[in-house]
Amino acid sequence: MFEAAQYGEARSKSVIGKAMGKHPELRSSAKEVMQVIDEVIKEVNKMDSKDLESYAPLKKKKQEKAKPRELPPLNKTNKVVLRFAPGPSGPLHLGHTRALALNNYYKKRYDGKLILRLEDTNPNAIDEKAYDLIQKDLEWLGIEADEVVIQSDRIDIYYEDIRKIILNGGAYVTKSDAEEWRELKRQSKAHPDRDRSPEIQIEEFDSLLNGDKGIVVIKTDLEDPNPALRDFVALRVVDSPHPLQGDKYRLWPLYNFAVAVDDYRLGITHVLRGKDHLNNTEKQRWIYKYLGWKEPEFIHYGLVTIPNTNLKTSKIRESIISGEFTGWDDCRLATIKALARRGYSAETFLKYWENSGVKEVDIKFSWQNFDALNKDLIDSKSRRLFFVSDPTEFTIETDNPLQKEAPWHPDNKTLGNREETISSGSKIYLPGKDLESLDDGFEIRLKNLCNVIMKKGSLIFSGFEHKKGIPILQWCSSNQPIDVLYPDGEIVSGIVEDNISSLDDNVVQFERTGFVRLEGEKAFFLHR
């Protein structure tokens, strides 16, 4: 009745196993005992569930789930429009997901619009594959962009708006030496080209389109105490071909100009980004001023430090080319592709950054907290398996077949059980490390099976009773090889239960090892 109350129905194999464990003297009459148990089980399984409630094990009272983190409200009057704007230099990494998660949070909260804007106005810093890779990263994270915008498709718009600023006296063209221009700016001195008439500036602008070298500069306050905010470059000549546009354009906008124009023309209402963009915000305000545009609301959150993590796309690419890494999804990396391959839940990224908030205080990313959050999300769905490293082979000796019946999960009974029959003469593999302190004649317990005595390569059946003090070892009866790949590059080889064949591309827990994601004969270590 306990069995039926706990699992919904009683099962013969489970009951007989427990009966023999408690009463080993019945083993000689196993056939007769089984007949009696079968008859009783038929009657028990007919009983109403309410009649069985008193036999159900006491369940721990579930703790109330914590309410989702409520981030500060946005100032809004109309529909909220946000943007996530990475450069297509490679796929997304962990650092990108903060801005993405926060923008997605507010989009959902206000039923707003999220634009994915690929900022590709530097022809020398583009990986053509990244256009697609980034969108696939968003798809994996479960984030839907309402619109995808590619900046290099909008060059004519930037030309139109910079012409307006030039004619308004807010920008100038110079073809002088770059260092000369920078030195004058450092000294708060105006460049000789700065005060030429708008008509001459337009002629000079057109000459850049037609082959001349030079830059277009936005005028600001040359007396600004912050040298970074004095006159800044809006467009420059790049003669390298663009992966999408080819040689169609040679005068390309820099970050601040393209961003300011697009944020206005795309109707962005709120800009969420790190406080390392504070100088950029002030530069962009000059562009809004010259064009008479209303600026969006700027929200700057604190910086984040992610220790011991390489997030530089250019260096990662070099390492992939050199063969140090196998690709963007190498489990030693912190790209979204690599972290997904290891088995992290997409929900973990979103919840972690939502919990970090949008305050201006700087924070330090915690892998420990990230892993703990991920564990909370995946634990109940992750099946348990035995993993045996450095396996040592034994032969089991038993008079009668032994029945292993272990739950896939100790608490989630809906996952069912993994069952296996072990006959005399079967091969059993034990972890080499666990055997270092065990000698012949030592009694051990094979987890979820029985007790055995070790003797010259054999495991001799010694009973079902749980005994205090004897070691409990994991074991495998199949010689199913698998390599566990760790993020630090370590590889631990071993064998795993043959139940693994149906679990490819799943996150499971190797007991006493940790959570892993299965991929053929590989298991990518996730965390404890």
Domains 81-303 and 305-381 alike in fold: no
Please report, for the chain, the start and end positions of each structural domain, with discontinuous segments joined by +.
2-55, 81-303, 305-381, 385-527
The residues facing 461 across adjacent strands are 452
Listed in sequence order, the residues at least 6 apart from 326 whose beta carbon sits closer than 8 Å to its beta carbon are 320
Q: What is the mean pLDDT of residues 145-167?
A: 98
Among 221-230, 285-294, 319-328, 472-481, the minimum mean pLDDT is found in 472-481
What pLDDT score was predicted for residue 64? 46
Mean pLDDT of the chain: 91
CATH number for the segment(s) 81-303: 3.40.50.620
Q: What is the CA radius of gyration of the chain?
A: 33
pLDDT band at 63; cut points 50, 70, 90: very low
To the nearest 10°, the Cα dihedral for 435, 439, 440, 442?
-80
Q: Measured between alpha carbons, how far is 293 from 296 in angstroms, rounded to an integer? A: 9
* One CATH from 1.10.599.10, 2.60.40.10, 3.30.420.40, 1.10.1160.10 for 305-381: 1.10.1160.10
Per cent of the chain over pLDDT 70 is 88
| H or E stretch covering 353 | helix 346-356
pLDDT band at 4; cut points 50, 70, 90: low
**pLDDT of 401-460, one tens digit each?**
999 999 999 999 999 999 999 999 999 999 999 999 899 999 999 999 999 999 999 999
Fold of the CATH domain 385-527: Ribosomal Protein L25; Chain P (2.40.240)
Give exposure, 17-51, as e/b (b: 16+ Cβ within 10 Å): bebbeeeeeeeeeeeebbeebeeebeebeeeeeee
Q: Are 473 and 434 within 8 A, CB to CB?
A: yes
Q: What is the mean pLDDT of residues 252-257?
A: 98
